Each structure stands twice: as C-alpha cells, then as structure tokens.
C-alpha cells in the first residue's frame, strides 16, 4: 500500500489532480472538523459501501492519525484490488498541523 504526506497531498490538490478523499472517521469526529469534498464512510461501514468508492482514481484514505485509514486502505487493496489507494500519513491531525492551521484539532 502507498502512503502520502499532508504536504504531498496539498501539492497534488493545488495542482488540480483528480483525487478522492475518503474520510473513514466516525460521525462525531467529522462534526469536529472535516476536509472539503471528502467522501465520508466510517471504517466499520466500508465493507457494505465499497461500490461508492471509484476504483479507477487516486483515493487518499484518512482518519484522525492514520491507523484506521491504514487498515481500510490495506483492506481495499487486498480484498478489492484497488491499486491507486493511499494512506494519509498522520491523518487529518497532520493536515491540521501542516496545512490548515485554522482546522480544529482533537
């Protein structure tokens, strides 16, 4: 499985690359903070919602600090053959620290 840092993701988004952001945090976490245009499917709901995730585009999976998203990305790669799946290193917390200083951290 591939990984991507917050800085690398920011550069790709700024350059206009077509990237799906997949937020696998639980509902209460998303209420605290979120990334614009992210598809939200909690990690425990992924198996029943795989069809909502396009398999033909770069997909960056993120959670709070990167552990749940790592497991989801690994699951999608090994059970469904996703090849353009990336884990956001450090999760949304890294994004808040390195990219969006106004984002609420928890």
Q: Report the distance separating Cα 72 and Cα 90, nearest Å.
A: 14
**Chain segment 56-100, per-residue pLDDT in tens:** 899 999 999 999 999 999 999 999 999 999 999 999 999 999 999
pLDDT value of position 1: 83
**Topology of domain 2-98, per CATH?**
Oxidized Rhodanese; domain 1 (3.40.250)
**Region 33-56 average pLDDT:** 96
Q: What is the mean pLDDT of the segment spanning 16-34?
A: 98
Cβ–Cβ < 8 Å for 80, 74:
no
């Amino acid at each position: 499985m591939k990984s991507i840092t917050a800085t690398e993701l920011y550069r790709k988004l700024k350059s206009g690359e077509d990237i799906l952001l997949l937020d696998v945090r639980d509902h209460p976490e998303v209420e605290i903070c979120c990334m614009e245009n992210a598809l939200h499917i909690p990690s425990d709901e992924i198996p029943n919602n795989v069809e909502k995730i396009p398999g033909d585009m770069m997909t960056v999976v993120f959670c709070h600090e990167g552990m749940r998203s790592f497991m989801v990305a690994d699951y999608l790669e090994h059970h469904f053959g996703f090849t353009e799946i990336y884990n956001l290193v450090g999760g949304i917390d890294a994004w808040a620290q390195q990219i969006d200083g106004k984002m609420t951290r928890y």
